[in-house]
Structure 1
């Protein structure tokens, strides 16, 4: 192959990896693991940056349209945010890139170990805060497809494969990856549902949670009671993010009264507001009591989480509880809660897994993702993590 074609083909291949690997199909996630190979083959730091940009921008291609839907605007604000969000990923991979072993024009010889260590550092930085706040499309997510049921060992094995992919023996790694993929795809089974836990998807679009009337809550309660009637084995009913809108004492009383005579617990998304801003939460409701079960650790940066408002004394925006409540308990069951954006990044789910949960509960409000694959990617990610740790999963989304 002519040398002049090498760099364009690397960038093109990285775009393909990002586009197909993050298409919303869980079994295609391992394609993202070819990214470190393409990155390591770059002939210069600038080409490595272009490879990283191609992968990240292709993987997050739904963002411009999603932002346009959210703000009822044209594509330009979304395009700007799309590029800005890629900066941390691109910068990290540009900084940690190094030349191939033995091909430095200055005569200095690199080592395979140094290259592997550099990629390992990039892998860690893009998965953990602060860089990991925008750490979408992380290749480690593929662990659940390649090593279902292996838990932390599977995560470590995937990290080793990714690191070795940057070295001289990459052909062997590709062969191993191919074999693992064929075995996994042939034997793949979707994560099981938690017994007695029922997810209720809604199709309320942008109107979800914006109607604070008592009638809205009563209609939602009637729908929940109808679900319970059809499923007498129901123990917990899960509703999507923002299903309850603003959580108030009045709504609290209406729901407790509405569930009177039932032993079912309802988990639903809501917003708890005060003078300084709001928390995006999951609320647990039963006939006897209600409580804020979980406060979102990482709201969507920019549209929800706006820390500069607090820094400038303005207040407002969603609070990030960061490492606050990675595991919560409902009816004696330990759950790993994930709200919307947390399903796209690495560290919230790994933090939750450190606490040995018994099931994953993932909720989202994806009305703004119309004409994109964002919700499908969220579901694929959650399915992959549930498979890796052999956990049942409950997912409820509004579209």
Structure 2
């Protein structure tokens, strides 16, 4: 092999390894993602930087093709196409902003990081290295996010070995004293293993099974019980009356995922139900692009698909507290949680329905990302997932 091909090949292989390990679903491994800006910065050409970005992103999101195939009950090709399309924004952004000028490089990388954190490209901003802030600087909030940004900028300078050693030492110290976020007092999140039937099988027996699970939690003293995304299926008056009657005189509130359908499409929501009735608590800001959110339908004069409420309802009121809700896909990207934290909520509620992610690390990554963000801002966390 020619000598001038050795370094590019090593950088590409290293970027694949960094993406695979950092985004394996183990929260304490997120700081390995900081290897990506180093590899990007020491690439000698724009082409190599593009391949480094490709290797990192495709490796980090490797569960997508199989997940899409399971979701649509199809072969692997639609998933591969979506996987490559999702990578395109990340790769193009980091390719265009790559520079051989060491003076401009930190500003270029920070600009790329910001672009991939906010819409429109932030809609596909998975595997963002800034997620590691919650592990390196737990409890430090916006200051920690600033420290993380400064660290990312420093990792693309010539001083990166010194910065990397300092961050690695801080990582080891943080891992040694690490604790997961606590549950808010009186809250309980229920994990289910109902597979693809959750949200699709909406018969009376399924509702009774869910009500029984909630009663078990309230019997243990919980005043607020969280069920996963799509748990109730379609939110209708009949479903509301059933759950209201099941609440009886109990002083407990159920937070559950559901879908609200109208002639134009549907909203992926969280509803709050107590003895007084039910209400829509939260409308998902960013449903899964492609499978749920399909904006091209309206461009073609067609209806259907989930609506994206983007910057609506970043926090919701539940009792005397305010929560930052995150449904499924919102846990994989940056701007929903940061928008919510601008309003200083009391805790985070993260739900998902990941039956289609079987044999992938997607659910583990979602949970780990929610934990990392909750620790960064020192917020209690409620998790509820279906698998």
For residue 124 of structure 1, what is the aligned residue in structure 2? 114
1:2-151 equivalence runs, <5 A: 2-99=3-100, 110=101, 112-151=102-141
Contact 2:265-2:307 within 8 A present in 1 as well: yes
Deviation digits for residues 153-176 of structure 1, max 9, x if unmatched?
Answer: 000101111111011111111111
Contact 1:218 1:254 in 2 (8 A): no
Matching residue of 1:376:
364
Match of 1:183 in 2: 173
Structure 1 residues 311-361: Cα deviation after superposition (integer angstroms, max 9, x where no partner)? 211110000000001000101111000000000000000000000011100
Kept in 2, the 8 Å contact 1:138–1:346? The answer is yes
**Which residue is 1:236 aligned to?**
224
CA deviations 1:93-134 (Å, max 9, x no partner) are: 0000011xxxxxxxxxx3x33111111100100111000000
User: Could you tell me whether the CA contact under 8 Å between 1:214 and 1:251 is conserved in 2?
Assistant: no
Q: Residues of 2 paired with 1:299 and 1:90: CA distance?
A: 22
- Aligned Cα RMSD in Å? 1.0
Contact 1:141-1:385 at 8 Å conserved across structures: yes
Contact 2:241 2:277 in 1 (8 A): no
1:294 equivalenced with 2:295 (yes/no): no
Distance 2:331 2:318 in 1: 20
- The CA deviation at 1:4 is 2.7
Q: Does residue 224 of structure 1 match 2:214?
A: yes
1:153 aligns with 2:143: yes
CA distance in 1, matches of 2:74, 2:270: 29
Q: Which runs of 5+ in 2 are unaligned?
A: none
1:174 alignment partner in structure 2: 164
Tell me the secondary structure at the aligned position of residue 66 of structure 1: helix
Which structure 2 residues correspond to residues 385-396 of structure 1 after superposition, within 5 A?
Answer: 385-396=373-384
User: What does the per-residue CA deviation read over 1:44-92, in whole Å, with 9 as the maximum and x for residues that have no partner?
Assistant: 1111000000000000000011011111111111111111110000000
Q: Give the whole-Å Cα distance in 1 for the aligned partners of 2:3 and 2:146.
A: 37
> Could you list the runs of 5+ residues in structure 1 that have no partner in the other structure?
100-109
The separation in 2 between residues aligned to 1:351 and 1:42, in whole angstroms, is 33
TM-score normalised over the length of structure 2: 0.98
DSSP 3-state at the match of 2:378: coil
**What is the deviation of 1:2?**
4.3
Distance 1:245 1:73 in 2: 23
SS of the equivalent of 1:360 reads strand
**Contact residue 26 and residue 380 of structure 1 kept, 8 A:** yes
Moved more, 66-75 or 18-27: 66-75
Residue 104 of structure 1 corresponds to none
- Among residues 160, 176, 184, which one is paired with 1:194 in the alignment? 184
Structure 1 residue 43: Cα displacement:
1.3
In structure 2, distance between residues paired with 1:128 and 1:74: 32
